[in-house]
Structure 1
Amino acid sequence: MLSLDEGTIRASFVNTTRKEVSDLTLPPSFPDLEWDRIDLLGWRDPKLAKRAYVVVPTADGVVGVLLRQAEASPRARAQCSWCQDVRLPNDVVLYTAKRAGAAGRKGDTVGVLVCESIQCSHNVRRTPPVAYLGFDVEAARQERIRTLQDRAAGFAAAVLA
């Protein structure tokens, strides 16, 4: 992911009001982010318990999306839709996002099951277990990274649609 500054991040949000963007709190680790090791920037708002944000690079630039955590939790251990990691260090929750534009103002939303702390970039970079003799671990890791990028960009496109 390209290195982003605060202004670019705030300007990237497509499903928020100006007030919601001004209330946005950047992650505490923002100044120390290793941009070359993340595929999307996702974080929970430390001031607003059920709010999270994700900034996703797409072919048309970065797209920021405000997420709201659903009140109910999945009944069984769910798998993250983005990183698809089965060895998750935390829970998967349902996040919803208003669609951009007129559809969002009418109440249309998109939902996604994602890691609670949105640490998908970290999860896909862990070395996967060897599945069989001759398994190419590095190729599998690179495929997981590409899949995460595609799935997150698809979610951003759904919010924009």
Structure 2
Amino acid sequence: MLPITPVDLRAAFVNASRKEVASITLPDWFDDADWASLDYLGWRDPKIARRAYVVAPTLDGEHVGIVLRRADATPRARAQCSWCQDVRLPNDVVLYSAKLAGAAGRRGDTVGTLLCEDFECSRNVRKLPPLAYEGYDLEAARLRRIDELRMRAAGFADAVVRER
């Protein structure tokens, strides 16, 4: 992910009011983020329970900021993250929903996805997968997982802005 300034980050949000954007609390680690190892920027708001944020690059390379709301209930069974699809999840997966941008969002339309609760997807896909069979190219599989994560994050961002 390309580095983004706090000003550009706030300007990227497409499904939030000016007041909501002004109240966004950046994560403590924002200034020290390792942008080269992030496929998207995601964090939970430390001040507002069940609110989280994602800034994902689109396929065109632009940043799209999305305000997320965590569901009240957690899945009964062990869920799989829709973005990293890590089968050896070291973390919890929860349902996050986002208002759509524009008129659709003002009508209350939303889109949801199952995500790692603390947005560990970039870290998860960079781990070497288990050896599937003799001769399996682990590095190629890891690079494919990184590309697929980027595509899924961009696809979610596209779903939020589509109606704008």
Normalising by structure 1, what TM-score? Answer: 0.98
Gaps of 5+ in 2: none
Deviation of the 1:119 alpha carbon: 1.2
Q: Which amino acid aligns with 2:107?
A: K
4+ residue runs over 4 A deviation:
none
Counterpart code for 2:22: S
Q: RMSD of the TM alignment (CA)?
A: 0.7
Go from structure 1 to structure 2 and tell me whether the alpha carbon gap of 1:90 and 1:29 turns closer, same or farther (over 3 Å shift): same
> Could you tell me how far apart the structure 1 residues matched to 2:61 and 2:80 are?
29
Alignment of 1:1-161 (within 5 A): 1-58=1-58, 59=60, 61-161=62-162
Distance 1:60 1:98 in 2: 22
SS of aligned partner of 1:95:
strand
Aligned residues, how many? Answer: 161
Q: How far apart are the structure 1 equivalents of 2:9 and 2:78?
A: 32
Report the Cα distance in structure 2 between the residues aligned to 1:82 and 1:143, rounded to whole angstroms. 13
Unmatched 5+ residue regions in structure 1? Answer: none
TM-score, L = length of structure 2: 0.96
One-letter amino acid of the counterpart of residue 13, structure 2: F
- CA–CA distance in 2 between the matches of 1:90 and 1:35? 22
Instruction: State the shift of 1:60 in Å.
Output: 5.4
Structure 1 Cα separation of the partners of residues 125 and 112 of structure 2? 21
Could you tell me how far apart the structure 2 residues matched to 1:81 and 1:131 are? Answer: 21
The Cα offsets for residues 74-93 of structure 1, whole Å up to 9 and x where unpaired, read as 11100000000011121100
